[in-house]
């Protein structure tokens, strides 16, 4: 929903009303981390997935910024620092499918990259399988996601979806900060999923407020609503406060 104002939102911290200090809307550039699985199992549909990823990058506004993370047994990243996206596009087009799947370390890399970036931030992760190559556990990275608070949009496709465990993993990462999970049985519909993600990212708002919680290192609940009950808000569910030692 475009053109919402501060007065259209209500915010509660641990159940208590909190005042929104500033609202960043669609005029703020997006900072996107695009994680792209290029493990060996993706080879039969690599061209189709590349085309979907390229269409997603092309749909972003000129002022938006993307960091591409290509992952298999290794992790390779390419950061966009100017309006020129040719290096990102070239990396996607030249990607070759080989090796295993280093999913969790790639996700953590994206979270660390977004920390401290201004404006609206999100991660978009495409994969066809579970982590088979990294050294981090799912629990470690889920806990990190809760601390960083960035929405994660996961897109699962291919034969890996035959395993219920992959769908569970992708849902967990998507739901922890109110992103979305997509499961695409027909890879030729991948572009539709990427288009949905792009449309949702363009409608994102960032609410800024001053917390009143003590530096106790604990989890604190957040609730974001709009004054119009017809709207449904997707927002992070809370945060871990800094501890007194940090």
The angle that helices 86-94 and 46-59 make with each other, rounded to 10 degrees, is 170
pLDDT given for residue 188 in this prediction: 85
DSSP one-letter string for 120-160: EEEEEEEESS---S-SS-HHHHHHHHHHH---EEEEEESGG
- How far, in Å, CA of 5 to CA of 22, rounded? 10
159 or 243, which is more confident? 243
Tell me how crowded residue 50 is: count the other CB atoms within 10 A of its CB.
Answer: 20
Rg of the chain, C-alpha, whole Å:
18
Domains of the chain are 6-25+207-240 (no CATH), 30-202 (3.40.50.410)
Confidence at residue 24, expressed as pLDDT on a 0 to 100 scale: 84
| 17 pLDDT higher than 60 | yes
d(CA 65, CA 103): 22
- pLDDT tens for each residue of 180-235: 999 998 888 999 999 999 998 888 888 999 999 999 999 999 999 999 989 989 88
Contacts (Cβ under 8 Å, ≥6 apart) of 34: 53, 56, 57, 66, 67, 68, 69, 124, 126
Rounded distance, CA 183 to CA 190, Å? 9
- Asked if 19 and 209 touch (Cβ cutoff 8 Å), the reply is yes
Judge whether residue 9 has pLDDT over 70. Answer: yes
Instruction: Name the token pair of 102.
Output: 């280093």
Average pLDDT value for residue range 21-26: 85
Spatial distance between the Cα atoms of 4 and 45, rounded to a whole number of angstroms: 40
């Amino acid at each position: 929903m475009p053109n919402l104002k501060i007065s259209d939102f209500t915010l509660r911290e641990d159940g208590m009303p909190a005042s929104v200090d500033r609202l960043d809307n669609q005029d703020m550039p997006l900072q996107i981390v695009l994680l792209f699985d290029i493990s060996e199992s993706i080879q039969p549909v690599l061209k189709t997935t590349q085309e979907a990823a390229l269409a997603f990058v092309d749909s972003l506004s000129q002022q938006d910024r993307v960091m591409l993370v290509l992952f298999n047994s290794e992790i390779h990243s390419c950061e966009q620092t100017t309006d020129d996206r040719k290096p990102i596009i070239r990396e996607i087009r030249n990607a070759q499918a080989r090796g295993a799947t280093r999913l969790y370390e790639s996700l953590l890399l994206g979270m660390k990259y977004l920390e401290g970036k201004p404006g609206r931030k999100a991660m978009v992760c495409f994969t066809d399988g579970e982590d088979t190559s990294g050294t981090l556990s799912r629990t470690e990275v889920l806990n990190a996601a809760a601390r960083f608070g960035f929405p994660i949009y996961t897109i699962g496709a291919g034969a890996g979806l035959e395993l219920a465990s992959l769908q569970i993993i992708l849902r967990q990462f998507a739901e922890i900060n109110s992103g979305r999970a997509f499961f695409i049985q027909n890879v030729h519909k991948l572009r539709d999923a990427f288009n949905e993600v792009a449309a949702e990212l363009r409608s994102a708002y960032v609410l800024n407020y001053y917390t009143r919680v003590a530096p106790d290192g604990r989890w604190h609940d957040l609730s974001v609503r709009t004054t119009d009950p017809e709207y449904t808000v997707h927002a992070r569910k809370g945060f871990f406060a800094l501890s007194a030692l940090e």
